[in-house]
A and B are shown apart, each in its own frame.
Chain A
Amino acid sequence: MSLVDGLFVFMLAGFIGFEVIKRISPLLHTPLMSITNALDAIAVVGAIVLVGRHESQLSFILGILAVVAATSNIVGGFLITDRMLKMFKTSRPTKS
């Protein structure tokens, strides 16, 4: 992947993010923040590679700490988002 490819991806994803997130009801801003936090923890893949390859003692140890931090965000983030969303109920009959 060249630098320019990466910038294209970044630019397009940024625009998609703006358009999608603009439409999200303020009702759900707290769960929005917790789910983006969980998704952001995809950084764990970089940390997994560091641990798995074990190229130096330093990168191995930093990698383990990074995997722990990111995984806790993934698990905790999805869990709390789900708990929050379960609580949102409406008094109107839902269309099915």
Chain B
Amino acid sequence: MIDFLGSQQFIELIYLIASALFILALKWMNTPATARRGIVAGETGMVLAIGGTLLQLGIDGRMQHLVIDYKWVLIALVIGSGVGVPLGLVQMTAVPQRTALSHAFGAFCVTLVGTAEFYLRSPNVPAFTMSVLCCEVILGGLTVTGSLMAAGKLQEVLPQRPITYKGQNIVNLGLLAIAFVIAIYLVHDPSAKHLYPVMVGIALVFGVMLVIPIGGADMPTVISLLNSYAGLSAAAMGFVLNNKLLIIAGALDGSSGFILSVIMSKAMNRSFTNVLFGAFGQVAATAAAEQEARPVKSASPEEAAGILAAASKVVIIPGYGMAVAQAQHKVRELFDALTKRGVDVQFAIHPVAGRMPGHMNVLLAEADVPYDHLKEMDEINGDFPQTDVALVIGANDVTNPAAKTDKSSPIYGMPVLDVEKAHTAMVIKRSMNPGFAGIDNPLYYMDNTLMLFGDAKAFVTNIVKELSNSHG
């Protein structure tokens, strides 16, 4: 029995169980009803895997007469947990930047392990191991700096405007090409230790260059893409270390990020190759200038409340502006007030609303909006013609009808919510300044559109106040 416990097969069995638990964890993420079971499965798998590794470490140590430094392993685990707890307790509005930061941490771990393995093994590194090791640290390195850049932009410590210059793609691809040439040389001659830091350095610079041209509205795609890169680098690490569990976890994470990137790029009408090469944000520059002042109709909170109270079906379209104004709790109060009056209220969630996939759903769930009222774009678009009021809160491009009709529009072809088909569209907006992408929205000038000028939170608060006054 002790022999079995100490054998390689036993550890492999533990890893096998952990792999199954990881897959179940993702499977149970399917619906909110089973999702929390998924967390327990994931945590159990994680504890098993770490326990198994500690056990194997002890066995290897005994067989190879090594002193195993358990003390420092424990210290590092404790410090890591200490760092992790506050990162797990951030505000829900800060989740996008937290996620970007955790991609950076994950890739940082992978890059460091790859680097340590290289210096331990060089110059005796078989060609295959060296090639996956290079993939591991190049992908890992660019994910570290790319994710830090993304986190900085989301936290608004870095400028959110995309920075573009002529020949940007050529510079970026050139950098990547140099990194891979060095990688090929290292595969050929793993003793060239002096070239290794150059390769990692280029990968780090490339990560920065990749995210520089990307504006805030493109963040959902970028975060998903970095998620995918982080997963793939971990899978590559699994090949270097001969660890199937790592390969599986990396492949799962890689495919998850990949699928999310595809969904996000489809929702923005960008081709996937476009996304892969990081050529985002080029849309922004063109359209802004040529508009003249056109008349719009505006309404006060009292008028808006009156129209809402008379409606029988209301669809609310939230966007990033709602998150910025922290208006989600007030929006829930509006939802409650209208529901109490017998109005059918639904939320229309565009896939790229907000700064990461699913961002709006989390914010509204935090504000206690029941999730069966959160509808995807395809599910709700057919309902707009029967909708009395479509209320847009802090969203812009995802409601732009020009995406369907105007071939010259930079967002032509992007799937949008059919807000203009509602009997009345109301848009809460600070002013007539074009949105982040600088694209004018014809919705605002339509006959059945009312502009509600003001801060999203303050305006919704006033509507709720009006509704409760007139109710009593």
Q: How many A residues touch B, CB cutoff 8 Å?
A: 82
Nearest B residue to A94 via CB reads B33
Chain B stretch 54-108: residues in CB contact (< 8 A) with chain A: 54, 57, 60-61, 66-70, 72-73, 75-77, 79-81, 83-90, 92, 95, 98-99, 102-103, 105-106, 108
Is A64 a contact partner of B248 (Cβ separation < 8 A)? no
CB of A24, distance to nearest CB on chain B (Å) = 5
The contact string, 1 if C-beta is below 8 Å from chain A, for chain B 335-358, is: 000000000000001010000111
| B472 contacts the other chain (CB 8 A) | no
C-alpha gap A37/B107 in the complex (Å): 10
Tell me the minimal C-beta distance from A62 to chain B in angstroms: 4
In the complex where A37-B102, A68-B76 touch, is A43 in contact with B113 (Cβ < 8 A)?
A: yes
Closest chain A CB from B232 CB (angstroms): 10
Knowing A6-B244, A42-B245, the reply to whether A79 touches B84 (Cβ < 8 A) is yes
Interface string of A29-62 (1 = CB under 8 A from B): 1111111111111111111111111111011101
Contact among A28, A45, A68, A79 for B35, CB-based, below 8 A = A28
Could you tell me if A63 and B113 are in contact, using CB atoms closer than 8 angstroms?
Answer: yes
How many chain B residues have a CB neighbour from A under 8 Å? Answer: 114
A18-B259 contact, Cβ under 8 Å, with A46-B113, A63-B116, A73-B102: yes
Judged by a CB distance under 8 angstroms, whether B430 is at the interface is: no
Kindly state the separation between the CA atoms of A31 and B243 in the bound complex, as whole angstroms: 26
Which secondary structure characterizes the binding site on chain B? helix
Interchain CB contact under 8 A, B358 and A27: yes
A10 and B247 within 8 A (CB): yes
When the two chains form their complex, are residues A43 and B227 in contact, meaning their CB atoms are under 8 A apart?
A: no
Question: CA of A56 to CA of B66 in the docked complex: distance in angstroms?
Answer: 13
**Is B252's CB under 8 angstroms from A52's CB?**
no
Given A3-B128, A26-B349, A44-B50: A64 touches B76 (CB 8 Å cut-off) = yes
Question: Do the beta carbons of B251 and A47 come within 8 Å of each other?
Answer: no
A and B contact pairs by CB, cutoff 8 A, 30 listed: A6-B247, A10-B239, A14-B254, A16-B252, A17-B256, A18-B255, A25-B31, A27-B32, A28-B361, A29-B260, A30-B99, A32-B256, A33-B358, A35-B38, A36-B253, A39-B25, A39-B45, A40-B234, A45-B50, A47-B112, A55-B120, A66-B113, A67-B76, A69-B109, A74-B84, A76-B88, A78-B39, A78-B42, A79-B88, A89-B370
Which residues of B does A touch, CB under 8 Å?
A: 18-19, 22-23, 25-27, 29-33, 35-36, 38-39, 42-43, 45-46, 49-50, 53-54, 57, 60-61, 66-70, 72-73, 75-77, 79-81, 83-90, 92, 95, 98-99, 102-103, 105-106, 108-110, 112-113, 115-117, 119-120, 128, 223-224, 227, 230-231, 234-235, 237-239, 241-257, 259-260, 263, 349, 351, 356-359, 361-362, 365-366, 368, 370-374, 376
Extra inter-chain contacts (16) besides given A78-B42, A79-B89, A80-B90, CB under 8 Å: A9-B244, A17-B26, A29-B356, A33-B256, A35-B25, A39-B45, A53-B60, A67-B80, A68-B80, A71-B80, A72-B102, A80-B88, A82-B39, A84-B365, A87-B365, A88-B371
Interface residues of A (CB under 8 A from B): 1, 3, 6, 9-10, 13-14, 16-18, 20-56, 58-60, 62-92, 94
The 5 residue pairs across chains A and B that have the minimum distance between CB atoms: A71-B80, A79-B88, A75-B84, A29-B358, A17-B255
